[in-house]
């Protein structure tokens, strides 16, 4: 049986439906579904993603049956539209667009008005009765086809148009007449022949297959590869190609084109939101070439636009569009992003898809739809991407701070960002690599800017609306973005811009407020994020479904308070060495390291004891009623000593020591590989007095609070870097002696746990033995990743990008847990430990504790908790709920 490679849709019928997204891509599946719903969609056909896969597998060769199937579906489209492809009198014109299973806005190529040539343009002119429209469409086609298929520089065509406008003394493209476009068509064709040595293709079928091939090839263009890398979209998915009959929004004042959202994609407000242009094609809206008009009066009033809305200009068409959007949102049960064209007062839908939205909007839409009864609470929780939640937790501009306002644009993507001005994506990368925060300033962004947008803190464009490329991509990335700042005058040559009398050069600092559209001179202070009532409500639903507990990595009372506010259920990692670096105690720490004998060390440690105890008192108070895991000293001692000659002299003077003594100690402590050297439990074994002091500080703080303030505390004392069971056995004995002694001194019965951090492969492989002396395991996945891969986290940046580019590794293993290697050790270690102690408490405390994919893995292997930085706690909570709901779906 012959495989079906091509699927037809049109006239209320469709071969496919929305369930075939993997095969037809998101766009193709939804075009088929809209046909089935009776929504007016121009007829067409979809070439499946399997053709893309075959195309790359077979050295750019198509399956044998493809051309025949395409011709059959093309004939169906011709019959439906009563026009024939290539007909000189009544030509059928086509659009050719990409369509991956996940939306990749602007990343791949599109060709419009395909089928025009020197003969069919006359037929289009005759059938439309409009020479200007016909030749404007023809020049657009030559321009787009030359760019996408023939790989010619698009800017040269724009330059020819600007020359023509100057010669005619007009400012807008719409002011050029039919004969002007005819002249430009000839100029365009001459340029194509000059650059390629061939005439512009006149055979419509040659044009069609050229465009189909270009769309498939665009799956592997630089910007698409970069977008897939950023969004972790597999290369093997491929793209579909959608070939569709053209409908025209640029045939006169009864024609229009636009983009709309069934709810506001920035705020989530339940408002029909969008933009349109009269007498224009779709590319004019999203490319930012003309500033679009608001879709209705409500949006016009809210955004204080002076332009007439579609509701005012085309009321019957607007009402029909309202009926369609309501039908689509009810059917898909999600906010929709729709593209439409109006031809001679007839509304056509070109696309619908689940709309990209900010994190704020995602939360509000999910909660509102659940309350409206459109979806249930489980679906609402699954609608919010855990990684996206991070966007809600970042600062906004301090309302009390002074602001030197330079100008205002459209608030395309909320948030606040300050940085140094750069004018190209390449400069953004270069400056960011130097550790500088940057704001990317462009006339308008294009898909080629994706890599610069990714590293920029914010994006500012002179052109474009709320649905322009910059706006859509920035919202998806969670970047602050302002578009349509029309007063912005950019001088790219001299790397500067002017805005309402302010002259700004590359490297100058500016601030963007993406929530208001304000562009501000200099750097403005920020305040902590304020979480909405919808966010709090969503998180209560999240906690109903998750199994996994979420703790935080916190070393200060301030961090602990933030984590509790975000719902942390304890501390999974309190690093005591961070406390040692405080100004008031680093001197005593250095005195301890420089001591020549145990008496000297104990004397110095006695000075540190009350400071450590004070730290633990505050942290226990903040975490009242929740577990606190405290890791005893882990890093090598040389990290606390000065390293430059100037620092050595300063410390020597402060401690009243000879500088040579310090240099000698530095030489003694120097190690070739400190990460695997004298650190962790090895310090506790060689200098037990250090761990004894820290244990005393922990237990005195806990006993004091239990006895004097009625606290219920179970301190968890963690021994780091254990590789052999005998290390833990010895250290447990040392620590437990102190614990019992302090409880006796305070006359307090206090339960405490002594456990270990599993961060060496040997500990994971012998976890059944290690568990004999451990009350809990905490997998330190940062170091476990280093020691499993043999990577140094500090040096991996030199080669890891190449590994990712060449697909040696699917993702950065320090960001997302390597399930096959490191994950296997975590799973195996957990299983072995619980063979010895069935109720052994197990968690992870590396950075992976806040990564959604890693959290889901931890739930899958039945860990008890994950621990992450305070601002990642809501991310981990939501990911833990997703793990349960997806497992049960």
Residue 449 has a CB neighbour count (10 Å cut-off) of 24
CA 449-451-456 angle, to 5 degrees, is 90
- What are the backbone angles phi and psi of residue 294, rounded to the nearest 5°? -70, 150
Instruction: Kindly compute the dihedral angle of the four CA atoms of residues 98, 99, 105, 108, in this order, to the nearest 10 degrees.
Output: -30
The reply to whether 678 belongs to the active site is no
Q: Is 116 left (phi over 0), alpha (psi -120 to 50) or beta?
A: beta
Q: Which of 845, 858, 868, 882 is catalytic?
A: 845
Nearest to 423 by CA among 471, 447, 456, 467: 456
Do 567 and 874 touch, CB atoms closer than 8 A? yes
Query: Partners of 831 in the beta sheet?
Result: none
Residue 817 has a CB neighbour count (10 Å cut-off) of 28
Nearest to 468 by CA among 241, 218, 274: 274
Buried b (16+ CB within 10 A) or exposed e, 302-332: ebebeeebbbeebeebbebbbebbeebbebb
Residues ≥6 apart with Cβ < 8 Å to 706: 712, 713, 748, 750
As a whole number of angstroms, the distance between CA 297 and CA 690 comes to: 71
- What are the backbone angles phi and psi of residue 502, rounded to the nearest 5°? -90, 130
CA 188, 193, 196, 198 torsion-angle sign: positive
As a whole number of angstroms, the distance between CA 92 and CA 574 comes to: 69
Residues ≥6 apart with Cβ < 8 Å to 618: 557, 560
CA 429, 430, 431, 433 torsion-angle sign: positive
Q: Which of 469, 638, 848, 882 is catalytic?
A: 469
Residues ≥6 apart with Cβ < 8 Å to 93: 113, 114, 115, 116, 120, 124, 137, 245, 246
As a whole number of angstroms, the distance between CA 839 and CA 775 comes to: 9
- What are the backbone angles phi and psi of residue 717, rounded to the nearest 5°? -100, 125
Residue 838 has a CB neighbour count (10 Å cut-off) of 7
3-state secondary structure of 572: strand
As a whole number of angstroms, the distance between CA 636 and CA 681 comes to: 11
Q: How far is CA 282 from CA 89, 91, 121, 279, 348, in A?
A: 25, 21, 20, 10, 12
Question: DSSP H helical segments within 478-597, as ranges?
Answer: 533-545, 557-565, 576-580, 586-594
Helix axes 586-594, 598-622, angle to 10 degrees: 150
The reply to whether 52 belongs to the active site is no
Q: Look at strands 336-343 and 256-261 and give their pairing.
A: antiparallel
In three-state form (DSSP H/G/I as H, E/B as E, the rest C), the secondary structure along 143-211 is HHHHHHCCCCCHHHHHHHHHHHHHHHCCCCHHHCCHHHHHHHHHHHHHHHHHHHCCCCCCCHHHHHHHH
Residues ≥6 apart with Cβ < 8 Å to 782: 759, 793, 814, 846, 847, 848
As a whole number of angstroms, the distance between CA 731 and CA 743 comes to: 19
Do 413 and 388 touch, CB atoms closer than 8 A? no
Do 840 and 833 touch, CB atoms closer than 8 A? yes
**DSSP secondary structure string, 10-27?**
ETTEES--GGGHHHHHHH
As a whole number of angstroms, the distance between CA 553 and CA 501 comes to: 48
Indicate which residues carry an active-site annotation: 469, 845
């Amino acid at each position: 049986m012959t495989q079906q490679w091509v699927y037809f849709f049109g006239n209320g019928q469709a071969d496919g439906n929305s369930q075939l997204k993997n095969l037809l891509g998101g766009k193709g599946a939804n075009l088929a579904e809209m046909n089935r719903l009776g929504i007016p969609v121009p007829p067409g056909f979809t070439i499946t993603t399997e053709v893309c896969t075959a195309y790359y597998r077979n050295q750019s060769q198509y399956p044998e049956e493809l051309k025949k199937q395409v011709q059959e579906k093309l004939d169906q489209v011709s019959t439906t539209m009563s026009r024939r492809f290539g007909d000189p009198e009544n030509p059928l014109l086509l659009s050719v667009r990409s369509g991956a299973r996940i939306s990749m806005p602007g990343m791949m190529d599109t060709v419009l008005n395909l089928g025009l040539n020197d003969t069919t343009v006359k037929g289009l002119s005759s059938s439309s009765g409009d020479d200007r429209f016909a030749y404007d469409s023809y020049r657009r086609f030559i321009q787009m086809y030359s760019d996408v298929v023939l790989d010619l520089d698009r800017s040269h065509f724009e330059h020819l148009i600007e020359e023509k406008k100057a010669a005619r003394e007009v400012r807008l493209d719409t002011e050029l007449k039919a004969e002007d476009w005819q002249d430009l068509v000839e100029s365009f064709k001459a340029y194509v022949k000059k650059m390629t040595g061939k005439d512009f293709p006149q055979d419509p079928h040659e044009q069609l297959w050229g465009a189909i091939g270009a769309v498939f090839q665009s799956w592997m263009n630089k910007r698409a590869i970069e977008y897939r890398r950023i969004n972790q979209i597999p290369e093997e998915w491929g793209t579909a190609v959608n070939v569709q009959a053209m409908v025209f929004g640029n045939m006169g004042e009864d024609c229009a084109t636009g983009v709309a959202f069934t709810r506001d994609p920035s705020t989530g407000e339940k408002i029909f939101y969008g933009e349109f242009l009269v007498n224009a094609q779709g590319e004019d809206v999203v490319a930012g070439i003309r500033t679009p008009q608001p879709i209705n009066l409500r949006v016009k009033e809210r955004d204080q636009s002076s332009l007439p809305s579609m509701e005012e200009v085309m009321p019957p068409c607007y009402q029909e569009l309202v009926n369609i959007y309501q039908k689509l949102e009810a059917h898909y049960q999600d906010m929709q992003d729709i593209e439409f064209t109006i031809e001679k007062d007839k509304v056509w839908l070109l696309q619908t898809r689940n709309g990209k939205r900010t994190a704020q909007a995602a939360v509000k839409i999910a909660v509102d739809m659940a309350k409206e009864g459109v979806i249930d609470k489980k679906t609402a929780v699954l609608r919010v991407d855990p990684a996206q939640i991070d966007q809600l937790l970042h600062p906004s501009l301090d309302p009390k701070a002074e602001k030197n306002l330079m100008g205002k644009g459209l608030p395309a993507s909320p948030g606040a960002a300050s940085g140094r001005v750069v004018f190209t994506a390449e400069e953004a990368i270069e400056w960011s690599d130097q550790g500088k925060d940057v704001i990317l300033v462009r006339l308008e962004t294009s898909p080629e800017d994706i890599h610069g947008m990714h590293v920029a803190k914010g994006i500012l464009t002179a052109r474009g609306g709320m649905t322009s490329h910059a706006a859509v991509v920035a919202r998806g990335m969670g970047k602050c973005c302002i578009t349509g700042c029309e007063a912005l005058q950019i001088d790219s040559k001299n790397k500067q811009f002017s805005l309402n009398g302010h002259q700004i050069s590359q490297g100058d600092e500016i601030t963007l407020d993406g929530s208001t559209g304000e562009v501000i001179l200099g750097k403005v202070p920020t305040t902590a994020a304020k979480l909405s009532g919808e966010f709090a409500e969503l998180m209560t639903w999240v906690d109903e479904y998750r199994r996994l507990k979420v703790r935080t990595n916190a070393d200060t009372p301030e961090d602990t308070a933030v984590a509790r506010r975000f719902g942390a259920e304890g501390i999974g990692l309190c690093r005591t060495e961070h406390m040692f670096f405080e100004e008031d105690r680093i001197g005593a720490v250095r005195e301890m390291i420089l001591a020549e004998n145990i008496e000297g060390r104990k004397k110095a440690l006695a000075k540190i004891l009350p400071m450590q105890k004070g730290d633990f008192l505050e942290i226990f108070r903040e975490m009242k009623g929740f577990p606190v895991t405290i890791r005893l000293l882990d890093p090598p001692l040389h990290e606390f000593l000065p390293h430059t000659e100037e620092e050595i002299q300063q410390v020597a003077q402060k401690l009243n020591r000879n500088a040579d003594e310090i240099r000698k100690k530095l030489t003694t402590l120097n190690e070739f590989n400190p990460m695997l050297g004298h650190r962790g439990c090895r310090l506790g074994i060689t200098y037990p007095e250090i761990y004894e002091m820290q244990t005393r500080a922990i237990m005195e703080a806990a006993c004091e609070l239990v006895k004097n303030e009625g606290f219920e505390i179970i301190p968890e004392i963690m021994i780091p870097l254990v590789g052999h069971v005998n290390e833990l056995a010895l250290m447990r004995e040392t620590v437990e002696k102190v614990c019992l002694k302090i409880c006796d001194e305070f006359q307090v019965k206090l339960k405490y746990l002594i456990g270990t951090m599993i961060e060496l492969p040997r500990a994971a492989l012998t976890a059944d033995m290690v568990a004999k002396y451990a009350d809990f395991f905490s997998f330190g996945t940062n170091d476990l990743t280093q020691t499993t891969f043999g990577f140094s986290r500090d040096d991996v940046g030199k080669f890891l990008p190449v590994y990712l580019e060449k697909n040696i590794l699917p993702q950065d293993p320090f960001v997302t847990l390597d399930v096959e290697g490191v994950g296997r050790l975590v799973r195996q270690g957990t299983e072995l430990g619980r063979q010895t102690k069935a109720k052994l408490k197990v968690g992870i405390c590396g950075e992976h504790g806040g990564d959604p994919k890693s959290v889901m893995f931890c739930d899958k292997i039945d860990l008890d908790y994950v621990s992450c930085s305070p601002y990642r706690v809501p991310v981990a909570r939501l990911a833990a709920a997703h793990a349960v709901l997806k497992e049960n779906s």
